[in-house]
A = this chain, B = another copy of it.
């Protein structure tokens, strides 16, 4: 169970409610699902009789067959492996169902309370929407516009004329400048958005900085990881497409354009002016310089093989009289 000091659970849900949230079909329950209660979510190996778990990967079949979970989200292919005591909730997307039920149990019951700290520094010309939470030490500069229901955590800095949509969260000490941010965006602590890009003309007399005259546009439902950095454009804007997920310590250079739903893992860097758009379903890249992932794995295997051959050859030479 989640540590109640840090997480607030909103009360049990009935099996019927859980099945509806997860878009799943109940299998193996003889009682009225409106009267069977589910109190928590947990992984297969630690879940108990009142808990919901899930399996979406054959790798975990053994844990599944041994689980004490009272309820398990499972796809059709694995449902016959369910242990006796467990009620199956059959769905094509067990992990998605688990995510939605977890949200309902832990995030659903928290009504947003407007709370603007006296110790926040909000310029008189800034506009703050209804129901915002603004922490102590947060700075909101002249002309900035913060939409309704936003959370601006302590010591975050919102620069001049920055625009933020509804229900967006800006993490502790994050800084935003020269940017327009959509709704339901989640910006983690220490992220840096909109600072000038790395642009200068090289010259024997000394580098000459090129003013970076673009912005950062962050569309709706984006997540930006802790301490990630997104530079503003040099002229055109830097754009992060709707629903993109960016992990921690990621660098996005000036003029980068991510399409919708891009996923960028931790510590990845995307060089200035790169565009990420649709790739073929299931495709992937690897290596440095980047290449098709299978080609890269094949090259790595080749290298290993050659090295082994060379070792064998040397051993052969050494053994010769």
Residues of B near A119 (CB, < 8 A) are 121
A contact face: mostly helix, strand, loop, or mixed = loop
Complex interface bits, A263-304 against B, C-beta within 8 A gives 1, otherwise 0: 001110101000000000000000111010001001110111
The count of identical subunits is 3
Q: Is the CB of B201 within 8 A of A96?
A: yes
Q: Is the CB of B136 within 8 A of A136?
A: no
A167 at the interface (CB under 8 A from B): no
A interface size (C-beta, 8 A): 99
A206 at the interface (CB under 8 A from B): yes
Given the interface contacts A153-B157, A213-B7, does A188 sit within 8 Å of B178 by beta carbon? no
A149 at the interface (CB under 8 A from B): no
Q: How far is the CA of A160 from the CA of B136 in the complex (A)?
A: 13
Q: Is the CB of A207 within 8 A of B302?
A: no
Q: Is the CB of A198 within 8 A of B261?
A: no
Q: Is the CB of A251 within 8 A of B229?
A: no
- A13 to nearest B CB, angstroms? 14
Q: How far is the CA of A30 from the CA of B248 in the complex (A)?
A: 56
Given the interface contacts A106-B211, A298-B307, does A157 sit within 8 Å of B154 by beta carbon? yes
A83 at the interface (CB under 8 A from B): no
Given the interface contacts A192-B190, A229-B249, does A210 sit within 8 Å of B99 by beta carbon? yes
Residues of B near A265 (CB, < 8 A) are 198
Which residues in chain A, 155-200, are within 8 Å of chain B measured between CB atoms?
A: 155, 157, 159-161, 171-173, 175, 177-178, 188-190, 192, 195-196, 198, 200
Q: Is the CB of A96 within 8 A of B139?
A: no
Residues of B near A201 (CB, < 8 A) are 93, 95-96, 98-99
Given the interface contacts A198-B245, A245-B200, does A236 sit within 8 Å of B43 by beta carbon? yes
Q: How far is the CA of A186 from the CA of B266 in the complex (A)?
A: 24
Q: How far is the CA of A14 from the CA of B53 in the complex (A)?
A: 65
Residues of B near A173 (CB, < 8 A) are 155, 157, 173, 175, 190
Given the interface contacts A102-B210, A229-B226, does A307 sit within 8 Å of B289 by beta carbon? no
Most chain B Cβ neighbours within 10 Å, of A160, A226, A302: A226
Q: Is the CB of B175 within 8 A of A190?
A: yes
Which residues in chain A, 26-44, are within 8 Å of chain B measured between CB atoms?
A: 41-43
Residues of A within 8 A of B (CB): 2-3, 5-7, 41-43, 46, 93, 95-96, 98-100, 102-103, 105-107, 117, 119, 121, 135-137, 139, 141, 143, 153-155, 157, 159-161, 171-173, 175, 177-178, 188-190, 192, 195-196, 198, 200-201, 203, 206-211, 213-215, 221, 223, 225-227, 229, 231, 235-236, 243, 245, 247-249, 251, 253, 261, 265-267, 269, 271, 287-289, 291, 295, 298-300, 302-307, 310-311
Given contacts A7-B211, A139-B155, A231-B248, 19 further A-B contacts (CB under 8 A): A6-B160, A41-B235, A96-B203, A99-B211, A121-B136, A135-B139, A135-B157, A137-B139, A154-B157, A157-B172, A188-B192, A190-B192, A190-B227, A198-B248, A206-B221, A207-B245, A226-B229, A267-B267, A306-B306
